[in-house]
Structure 1
Amino acid sequence: MRTRSLAVLAVVALGLAALAGWGLLQRAGEAPATSGEALPGFADRIQTLERVEVRGAGDSLLVSLVRRGQAWEVEQHPGWPANQREISRALFRLGEARRVEAKTDNPALHARLGVEDIGQADAKGAELRFEGGGDTLGLVVGRNHPGLGGSYVRVIGENASWLIDADLSPARDPVAWLDRRLLDLPLARTERVRIEPASGRAFSLERDGEAFVVRGAREGGTLDAEATATAAVPEQLALDGLAKDEGEPASRRHVYETVDGLRLEIASWQDEAGTWARLSLDLDEDVAAAWYGQAGEDAEPAAERLARLREQVREWQGRFQGRKFLLPSHKAANLLKSRADYLAPG
Structure 2
Amino acid sequence: MNIKNLIILTMITLAVIITAAVLNQPQTTTISESKKLFPHLLKALDRVSEITVSTKNEVATLTRPVEGQWQLKEKHNYPVSPDKIHKLLIGVADLVTLEAKTNNPKLYSKLGVEDITAEASQSKLLTLKNAEGKTLASLIVGNDKVAKTDPTLQEIYVRRAEDKQAWLVIGQLTVEKAAANWLNAKIVDVDSARVSKINITHPDGEEIAIFKTAPQAEEFQLAYIPEKAKVKMPHVLKNIATTLSNLELDDVTTANEITFTDDASTRAVFTTFDGLEITMVTMNKDNKHYAKFSAAFTPKAVWTEPQEPTQSATEKEQSPANPTEKVANKTEKKTPWQPKPADEINKQVETLNAQFKDWVYILSDYKVDDLAKKQKDLIEEESSTKAEKPVADEVGEPATAIEEITVPVEN
* Structure 1 length-normalised TM: 0.77
- Counterpart residue identity of residue 102, structure 2: T
Counterpart in the other structure of 1:335: 371
Cα distance between partner residues in 1 of 2:354 and 2:163? 47
2:219 matched to 1:211? yes
Q: Which has the larger radius of gyration?
A: 2
Segments of structure 2 that go 5 or more residues without pairing to the other structure are 1-33, 149-153, 308-335, 383-411
- Counterpart residue identity of residue 244, structure 1: T
* 8 Å CA contact retained: 2:192, 2:245: yes
Q: Displacement of 1:335 after TM fit?
A: 1.8
Counterpart selection for 2:71 from 60, 63, 73: 73
Q: Deviations over 1:156-185 (max 9, x none)?
A: 111000121235351122332222111112
Tell me the C-alpha RMSD between the 2 structures.
3.2
Distance 1:110 1:261, change over 3 A: same
Distance 1:340 1:38, change over 3 A: farther
Q: Deviations over 1:90-120 (max 9, x none)?
A: 2112222212232110122212222122344
Distance 1:335 1:84, change over 3 A: same
Distance 1:314 1:286, change over 3 A: same
Q: Secondary structure at the match of 2:114?
A: coil
Q: Displacement of 1:220 after TM fit?
A: 7.7
Q: Displacement of 1:42 after TM fit?
A: 2.1
2:146 matched to 1:142? no
Q: Displacement of 1:70 after TM fit?
A: 5.9
Counterpart in the other structure of 1:52: 51
Counterpart selection for 1:267 from 269, 275, 281: 281
- Counterpart residue identity of residue 189, structure 1: R
Cα distance between partner residues in 2 of 1:265 and 1:96? 45
* 8 Å CA contact retained: 1:49, 1:67: no
Q: Displacement of 1:194 after TM fit?
A: 0.9
Distance 1:72 1:62, change over 3 A: closer
* 8 Å CA contact retained: 1:63, 1:172: no
Distance 1:313 1:80, change over 3 A: farther
Counterpart selection for 1:247 from 237, 255, 259: 259
Cα distance between partner residues in 2 of 1:75 and 1:276? 21
- Counterpart residue identity of residue 347, structure 2: E
Q: Pairwise mapping of residues 160-239 of structure 1 onto structure 2 (< 5 A)?
A: 160-166=165-171, 168-199=173-204, 201-208=206-213, 209-217=217-225, 221-222=230-231, 223-239=233-249
* 8 Å CA contact retained: 2:147, 2:170: no
2:35 matched to 1:36? yes
Q: Secondary structure at the match of 2:341?
A: helix
Counterpart in the other structure of 1:284: 298
Counterpart selection for 1:322 from 322, 346, 358: 358
Q: Deviations over 1:237-266 (max 9, x none)?
A: 122211113214343111112222222111
Cα distance between partner residues in 2 of 1:244 and 1:278? 10
Distance 1:121 1:45, change over 3 A: farther
Cα distance between partner residues in 1 of 2:77 and 2:276? 24
Cα distance between partner residues in 1 of 2:173 and 2:291? 33
Cα distance between partner residues in 2 of 1:232 and 1:254? 12
Cα distance between partner residues in 2 of 1:65 and 1:190? 37
- Counterpart residue identity of residue 296, structure 2: D
Cα distance between partner residues in 1 of 2:129 and 2:247? 34
Deviates more, 1:306-315 or 1:113-122: 113-122
Cα distance between partner residues in 1 of 2:287 and 2:64? 28
Cα distance between partner residues in 1 of 2:347 and 2:78? 18
Deviates more, 1:143-152 or 1:118-127: 143-152
- Counterpart residue identity of residue 312, structure 1: Q
Cα distance between partner residues in 2 of 1:233 and 1:336? 12
Cα distance between partner residues in 2 of 1:327 and 1:127? 29
Q: Displacement of 1:86 after TM fit?
A: 2.4
- Counterpart residue identity of residue 277, structure 2: R
* 8 Å CA contact retained: 2:51, 2:63: yes
* Structure 2 length-normalised TM: 0.66
Q: Deviations over 1:73-93 (max 9, x none)?
A: 223345643221221122112
- Counterpart residue identity of residue 220, structure 2: F
Deviates more, 1:68-77 or 1:220-229: 68-77
Counterpart in the other structure of 2:100: 102
* 8 Å CA contact retained: 2:76, 2:253: no
Q: Displacement of 1:195 after TM fit?
A: 1.1
Cα distance between partner residues in 1 of 2:155 and 2:42? 18
Q: Displacement of 1:226 after TM fit?
A: 0.7
